[in-house]
Amino acid sequence: MTSNNIWLEVDKNNGAIMSYFLQLPTTPSNKCDYIAATQDELIYLNALEDFVLPSGTVVTRSHLEEHRVRVKEEKAKVFTNAPQKPSHGPDKTSNNKPSTNTVARANLIAALKQHRSHK
């Protein structure tokens, strides 16, 4: 089973992200923590380090946390701005709208009756 999660090796002293692993390391470390992240977050952190931060600057746990806050806020904005659709489940009896065939048939009958009355 493949997973979208990876494990970031984070220095306990300064929060610098040192490396990543595809599986959680089983050996405990006094110097590092391992935190779960997505591959998308890893791509963001790599791009931040390569193209945004000054040369020689390392990404840290705080960069990841700030990114997560921004993403969460953006998702909340999208969710609150999304048009709300009324929920009509199959068990709802409030949906008494006639089918298209029924409406078309009624319109046809009404048109034929109107045509007969003009003769």
More confident residue, 105 or 95: 105
How does pLDDT run across 13-60, given as a tens digit for each residue? 999 999 999 999 998 889 999 999 999 999 999 999 999 999 999 999
Distance between CA atoms of residues 8 and 13, nearest Å:
15
Counting every residue written for the chain, the total comes to 119
More confident residue, 83 or 15: 15
